[in-house]
A and B are shown apart, each in its own frame.
Chain A
Amino acid sequence: MLTLLEIALLLLALAMTWRFLGAYMADVYEGKTKWLGFVERPIYKLLGVDPNKEQSWKRYSVSLIAFSLVSLLFTYFILRVQNLLPLNPSHMKAVTPALAFNTAVSFVTNTNWQNYAGEQTMSYFSQMGALAVQQFVSASVGVAVAIALIRGFSGSGSSTIGNFWADLIRGILYILLPVSAVAAVIFVGQGAVQTLGGPVTIHNALNGVTQTIPRGPVASMEAIKQFGTNGGGFFNANGAIPFENPTPLTNVLSIYLLLSIPLSLTYTFGRMVGSVRQGIALLGVMVFFFLVWTGVTIVAEHGVSPALDAAGFHSQGAGNMVGKESRFGISSSVLYNIASTQTSTGSVNSSMDSYTPLGGMMALSGMMLGEVTPGGVGSGLYTILLFAIVTVFIAGLMVGRTPEYLGKKIQAKEMKLASLGVLIMPITVLTITGIAMLVPSATGAILNKGPHGFSEILYAFTSQGNNNGSAFAGLSSNNTFYNVAGAIAMWFGRFGVILPSLALAGALASKGVVPATSGTFRTDSALFGALLIGVILVVGALTFFPALALGPLAEEFSKGRLF
């Protein structure tokens, strides 16, 4: 159960992390941290990269896309031939082309949507050499983009935004690897499985049943799964199974890990642009959404599930425990799932499908806001900065000045790129969900009728379009349509935002800085925070309101009627 002590410790730990990890990340990406230089330098030599040679946004983008495409091919290839590769004690067969494609895109885009059950599909080699590797590099790519965009703001009149290869390697080496290593040891200490020894077979003499219990290198993957806001677990049941998430401590540790980088990046941002207050304004917006969404969901789940109530199962004040682990209880389950859906992690420790319509809608709508609350590693920051630019533009007009953000004028080009980056997600999600409604193999894959079934499909594409990877469940999505459509949603949801962000970084970097005066609209104020909240809310609500009305809202207002 979630105790006040746990919450207090979590908050304290996050506050310290925000300050120190935030500052540390700024040092890392400014090239000031060198304690792993003896590893870093040979890597650059091997890659033939000069880390001090800055790239234009175009070169940065080309490097990033090329790297991601190679990663995609590499991952796909391993999954396709895993039967021929070592570390396959359960003799897993080669992954089918459509599933391998979907999975490769999923891990390269930091989504970790899983159209498979890990313990029944993937060899140890695939889990470690293909999927976990991507959990590190895709997270580092995300942070790199955020840092590049920050450099766009902090630079003045330069045409470069940093070096992609240096950013990629520094992120992995100095941030992701050390923390994950320590966290993995804690997971092991708490009882998470970590072995290459293959599954064990147990014969229960009492009832005569023989069971095969899958095992594997779980703890090591668990750490980066959370810290890199990936979410793809070793097991199908993800954070609900004790092998991955054995104790309340690992439960809280997971929540801590997945919130660490997205929140701390606001400090990094503030420090790199020369005003921590600017970062605090963004942090405030993220925290606001997070608290409201968590609070509402906790209240909803402590209430009555309308469907069960209508069917005569009265919870008698115990709340909606269906689909939740009794060792975590309602609040802890909700906190974990909301933290995970709002950081684009997507790991779960309880079944979203069994949440109340309102509770499910909170997880769903949290993603619909564009994964900025606080969002994934890097992606949360660069996406909220796009929203901030739109906000600054409207607010700037209202004070009678050509809008500026951090001294950079926001003009036609910036508006074009920010709008594109903000709108690509809803357009992708709505279009693909709309198409799914017309495809028999898509609608045939849902296990529930009516609004709940609609929510299951909507949730799937919202999750993939936002590179979250959280699954509502209730959807048999390992078919060609879902594998291909999901891959498209994930690809556009990721690179459709990254490219405008990098272009924006380039456009901003080349601009001079306009000095702030009292006529400048302050972007480190509560007023700005409130406006940014409004813009994020309005964009999310206006684009998804009809869909929500047909899904969770229709279900909620039907008072338990089944369809």
Chain B
Amino acid sequence: MALASEVKSEEESIHGIPKTRGLFDKEVLLPALKDSFVKLNPKQQVKNPVMFVVLVGTFVSLYEAVVNGSLFTWSITAWLALTVLFANFAEAVAEGRGKAQADTLRKMRTDANARRLNEDGSESLVPSATLQKGDLVVCEAGDIVPSDGEIIEGVASVDESAITGESAPVIRESGGDRSAVTGGTKVLSDRIVIKITAEQGKTFLDRMINLVEGANRQKTPNEIALTILLSALTVIFIPVVVAIDPFASFSHSQVSIVILVSLLVCLIPTTIGALLSAIGIAGMDRLVQRNVLAMSGRAVEAAGDVQTLLLDKTGTITLGNRMASAFYPLGEVDERELAEAAQLASLADETPEGRSIVVLAKERFNIRERDLGSSYSFVPFSAQTRMSGIDLDGRVVRKGATDAVKNWVLSLGGSVSKELDEISDRLAREGRTPLAVSDGDRLLGVVELKDTIKQGIREKFEQLRALGIRTVMITGDNPLTAAAIASEAGVDDYMAEATPEAKMALILKEQEGGKLVAMTGDGTNDAPALAQADVGVAMNSGTTAAKEAGNMVDLDSSPTKLIDIVEIGKQLLITRGALTTFSIANDVAKYFAIIPALFVSRYRGLETLNIMRLHSPTSAVLSAVIFNALIIIALIPLALRGVKFRPATASALLRRNVLIYGVGGLILPFIGIKVIDMIITTLGVF
């Protein structure tokens, strides 16, 4: 997270979600400083039991300072107050980054008038803000889409960069899975009629603004459980500290209230208490940075718990579409003849597979594209024939599924050698798709179509397996091909010839066993499965139904994103756990600073416990309090960025984090307090 490089001009950042600002961006810091004081409002403080105790302690200390003030009591009071302010500041910085993003997004909300289509077919200009659900509006080239809706008429290219950051325009058309348009995007060509599907204030943009702002952030289940633990750790230290007073009076020893308050503040888990909400906000923020909008923090947490990932083959595991990779001529047929026929059949075929055949023919035999003139007729692929091809100068060239072409040739009176089935079966077993090619009643051979497995995907799945996550590849391919690709990519399981119903059944089966399931989807028929999955990531390019059913939307529409989401979910929990451990481990050193200071005047021997050799009781207590406050500031960057996460088994992760945050948390304060003590002593005040 570089600091300087991410300060972008307003002009640039309006495209897509504005990038996060650096940790020390002054546009975030200055308002955050102000908010640190605003947040002193007891109504806000009481929501965080740990920091509330610190606030009360500050007032107790302040009272003592006013009544019988000394430099020591005033110093303690000041640092206690700073502890509270630092906690507020951490939260304010985390929120501030979101607010800055929200402000930029707000500018995208269009105030222009919309062209509402009346029932009689006439148009009237109305302010966008008055549009109702179900209204029809017209957009032409250059218009900004006034609100979320569904295209019911026409086709247009749309610039969605305002939402996705992707500058290449996309095609949106009525019917099918590409009919949704989002308010704030710009129509570049043609004319479309849009049926508004969102109520005012509930558009996608509104939800995005709410989200990055954390307007109605609710504590997640895990955060609630942790808050309970932190409250318990706060509650227990109250009798611990309060009891010291009678204990000491029995021992004929005097303890000052200020030192007791200092001890209490040092013992309760202020570090994690101060940073907890910042960690949560920053976790959501990290998702937003990767262009994922989570509809709730609960969903982000669930992502960390996911045990089964349903991944679409195309786009996630394989690169886009299948490509022609080899020609297999039958019998006496020359390979070049096959290539030529295949190329001919594909010349007018605009599908990616078709184009790849033309490319392969050129690569292998330098067969150039020719001008077909006007005397040809292209036979497009249909679900019935499962073939496509060309009729040209009396030649009838076809390519298609093996059995379809076989039947076609037989029906023309041709013969089919057994070799065809052998090649086809072999290719299918290897995960390739065979495409038979015929010229008239002659079967020429087979074109091999190959899926390209994404680079590094195998390693990714291995990491996921280490994390205990099972990957299931979802594909429409036949079982043979699916099995081959699955084994090449290294997924744990696959579902071939998948239908939305089968997907749904798989999710239910996994969930029955107690597992949490994540999936991506974009079509309307994916909606039930998206809703059923614990983490359902809808592609932004998908239908409104899909987007509403899922609990996250991926603006980049990249199926690989699911893996990132899981890691962010885990990182969020790990950051909380690590800082909790750190906070508790810190207590040991603070005890060794404060306890000898409390009682050494009564029991001289307790000086033995002053293993840090701190200068004096007052400097020891003050050093502990200062350390306790400064560590909050020092850890804000870690809280916002999250603990470093490397996929590994639970044991390895735990060992690493216990070592860094547990053992480190034990040792660091000994050093920190000693250094602060030396500084204070050098200043010569105490």
**Are A543 and B609 touching (Cβ within 8 A)?**
no
**Are B573 and A401 touching (Cβ within 8 A)?**
yes
Contacts of A47 in B (CB 8 A): none
* Known pairs A431-B239, A512-B514, A557-B603; A519 contacts B249 (CB<8 A): no
* B286 at interface by CB-CB < 8 Å: no
* A173 at interface by CB-CB < 8 Å: no
**Are B251 and A398 touching (Cβ within 8 A)?**
no
* B132 at interface by CB-CB < 8 Å: no
**Are B469 and A515 touching (Cβ within 8 A)?**
no
Provide a sorted-by-A list of 26 A–B residue pairs whose CB atoms are within 8 angstroms: A393-B226, A394-B577, A394-B580, A394-B581, A397-B222, A399-B654, A400-B573, A430-B240, A435-B246, A438-B249, A450-B251, A514-B514, A517-B307, A518-B467, A518-B649, A519-B468, A520-B650, A531-B654, A538-B584, A544-B240, A546-B241, A547-B243, A549-B595, A556-B605, A557-B608, A558-B603
**Are A521 and B307 touching (Cβ within 8 A)?**
no
**Are A554 and B605 touching (Cβ within 8 A)?**
yes
CB interface residues, B 400-445, toward A, < 8 Å: none
Per-residue contact bits, chain A 533-544, to B (CB 8 Å; 1 contact, 0 not): 010001001111
**Are B653 and A398 touching (Cβ within 8 A)?**
yes
Identify the A interface with B (CB < 8 A): 390, 393-402, 407, 410-412, 414-416, 419-420, 422-423, 426-427, 430-431, 433-435, 437-438, 443, 450-451, 454, 512-515, 517-522, 525, 527, 531, 534, 538, 541-547, 549-550, 553-554, 556-559, 561
Identify the B interface with A (CB < 8 A): 221-222, 224-226, 228-229, 231-232, 235-237, 239-251, 253, 267, 301, 304-305, 307, 465-470, 513-515, 569-574, 576-578, 580-581, 584-585, 587-588, 591, 595-596, 598-599, 602-609, 645, 649-651, 653-655, 657-658, 661-662
Further 12 A-B residue pairs, CB within 8 A, beyond A397-B574, A443-B250, A546-B598: A398-B653, A402-B304, A430-B240, A437-B250, A454-B247, A517-B469, A518-B465, A518-B468, A518-B650, A519-B467, A522-B651, A558-B604
Selected contact of B305 from candidates A402, A443, A546, CB within 8 Å: A402
* Known pairs A412-B224, A518-B466; A400 contacts B645 (CB<8 A): yes
**Are A407 and B514 touching (Cβ within 8 A)?**
yes
**Are A546 and B240 touching (Cβ within 8 A)?**
yes
Selected contact of A402 from candidates B245, B301, B598, B655, CB within 8 Å: B301
**Are B606 and A520 touching (Cβ within 8 A)?**
no
Report the Cα distance A443→B246, complex, angstroms. Answer: 11
Task: Tell me what chain A mostly uses at the interface: helix, strand, loop, or mixed.
Answer: helix
**Are B228 and A415 touching (Cβ within 8 A)?**
yes
**Are A543 and B468 touching (Cβ within 8 A)?**
no
**Are A543 and B236 touching (Cβ within 8 A)?**
yes
Selected contact of A434 from candidates B243, B569, B584, B661, CB within 8 Å: B243
Instruction: Select from chain B the residue with minimum beta-carbon distance to A427.
Output: B239
**Are B595 and A454 touching (Cβ within 8 A)?**
no
Instruction: Select from chain B the residue with minimum beta-carbon distance to A519.
Output: B468
**Are B574 and A399 touching (Cβ within 8 A)?**
yes
Contacts of B232 in A (CB 8 A): 419-420, 422-423
- Which 3 pairs show the lowest CB-CB distances between chains A and B? A519-B468, A397-B577, A557-B605
Selected contact of B239 from candidates A412, A415, A434, A515, CB within 8 Å: A434
Report the Cα distance A542→B590, complex, angstroms. Answer: 10
**Are A398 and B246 touching (Cβ within 8 A)?**
no
**Are B228 and A426 touching (Cβ within 8 A)?**
no
Contacts of B574 in A (CB 8 A): 397-400
Most buried by B among A415, A431, A513: A415
Instruction: Select from chain A the residue with minimum beta-carbon distance to B224.
Output: A412
Instruction: Select from chain A the residue with minimum beta-carbon distance to B244.
Output: A546
Instruction: Select from chain B the residue with minimum beta-carbon distance to A545.
Output: B591
**Are A550 and B247 touching (Cβ within 8 A)?**
yes
Contacts of A545 in B (CB 8 A): 591, 595
Instruction: Select from chain B the residue with minimum beta-carbon distance to A390.
Output: B229
Contacts of A430 in B (CB 8 A): 239-240, 243
**Are B222 and A398 touching (Cβ within 8 A)?**
no
Report the Cα distance A426→B267, complex, angstroms. Answer: 15
Contacts of B595 in A (CB 8 A): 545-546, 549
* Known pairs A397-B226, A410-B225, A512-B514; A521 contacts B651 (CB<8 A): yes
**Are A402 and B468 touching (Cβ within 8 A)?**
no
Instruction: Select from chain B the residue with minimum beta-carbon distance to A525.
Output: B651
Q: Shortest distance in angstroms between B285's beta carbon and chain A's nearest beta carbon?
A: 18
Contacts of A538 in B (CB 8 A): 584-585, 587-588
Instruction: Select from chain A the residue with minimum beta-carbon distance to B307.
Output: A517
Contacts of B235 in A (CB 8 A): 423, 427
**Are A531 and B576 touching (Cβ within 8 A)?**
no
**Are A519 and B587 touching (Cβ within 8 A)?**
no
Contacts of B467 in A (CB 8 A): 400, 518-519
**Are A415 and B229 touching (Cβ within 8 A)?**
yes
* Known pairs A419-B232, A512-B514; A521 contacts B246 (CB<8 A): no
Contacts of B570 in A (CB 8 A): 399-401
Q: Shortest distance in angstroms between A419's beta carbon and chain B's nearest beta carbon?
A: 4
Selected contact of A398 from candidates B267, B301, B585, B657, CB within 8 Å: B657
Instruction: Select from chain B the residue with minimum beta-carbon distance to A424.
Output: B236
Q: Shortest distance in angstroms between A317's beta carbon and chain B's nearest beta carbon?
A: 25
Selected contact of A515 from candidates B237, B307, B465, CB within 8 Å: B307
**Are B606 and A553 touching (Cβ within 8 A)?**
yes
**Are A401 and B650 touching (Cβ within 8 A)?**
yes
Contacts of A561 in B (CB 8 A): 605
Most buried by B among A390, A412, A521: A412
Report the Cα distance A498→B47, complex, angstroms. Answer: 30
Report the Cα distance A437→B247, complex, angstroms. Answer: 6
Contacts of A420 in B (CB 8 A): 232
Q: Shortest distance in angstroms between B599's beta carbon and chain A's nearest beta carbon?
A: 6
Q: Shortest distance in angstroms between B304's beta carbon and chain A's nearest beta carbon?
A: 5
Selected contact of A401 from candidates B305, B515, B645, CB within 8 Å: B305
Most buried by A among B247, B305, B576, B584: B247
Selected contact of B242 from candidates A414, A434, A515, CB within 8 Å: A434
Contacts of A513 in B (CB 8 A): 514
Report the Cα distance A394→B585, complex, angstroms. Answer: 12
Report the Cα distance A430→B598, complex, angstroms. Answer: 18
Instruction: Select from chain A the residue with minimum beta-carbon distance to B576.
Output: A397
Report the Cα distance A557→B570, complex, angstroms. Answer: 47
Contacts of B577 in A (CB 8 A): 394-400
Contacts of A553 in B (CB 8 A): 606, 609
Contacts of B571 in A (CB 8 A): 400
Q: Shortest distance in angstroms between B507's beta carbon and chain A's nearest beta carbon?
A: 15
Most buried by A among B224, B228, B578: B228
Instruction: Select from chain A the residue with minimum beta-carbon distance to B301.
Output: A402
Contacts of B248 in A (CB 8 A): 550
Report the Cα distance A284→B406, complex, angstroms. Answer: 70
Report the Cα distance A415→B226, complex, angstroms. Answer: 8
Report the Cα distance A545→B578, complex, angstroms. Answer: 24
Report the Cα distance A186→B489, complex, angstroms. Answer: 70
Q: Shortest distance in angstroms between A108's beta carbon and chain B's nearest beta carbon?
A: 26
Q: Shortest distance in angstroms between A501's beta carbon and chain B's nearest beta carbon?
A: 16
**Are B225 and A412 touching (Cβ within 8 A)?**
yes
Report the Cα distance A558→B606, complex, angstroms. Answer: 8
Contacts of B267 in A (CB 8 A): 542
**Are B301 and A431 touching (Cβ within 8 A)?**
no
Contacts of A544 in B (CB 8 A): 240
* Known pairs A397-B576, A426-B240; A437 contacts B249 (CB<8 A): yes
Contacts of A559 in B (CB 8 A): 605
Report the Cα distance A286→B225, complex, angstroms. Answer: 27
**Are B654 and A398 touching (Cβ within 8 A)?**
yes
Report the Cα distance A541→B245, complex, angstroms. Answer: 19
Instruction: Select from chain A the residue with minimum beta-carbon distance to B657.
Output: A398
Q: Shortest distance in angstroms between B631's beta carbon and chain A's nearest beta carbon?
A: 18
Selected contact of B236 from candidates A399, A423, A433, A541, CB within 8 Å: A423
Q: Shortest distance in angstroms between B263's beta carbon and chain A's nearest beta carbon?
A: 8
Contacts of B228 in A (CB 8 A): 412, 415-416, 419
**Are B468 and A517 touching (Cβ within 8 A)?**
yes
Q: Shortest distance in angstroms between B643's beta carbon and chain A's nearest beta carbon?
A: 9
Contacts of B247 in A (CB 8 A): 433-434, 437, 454, 546-547, 550
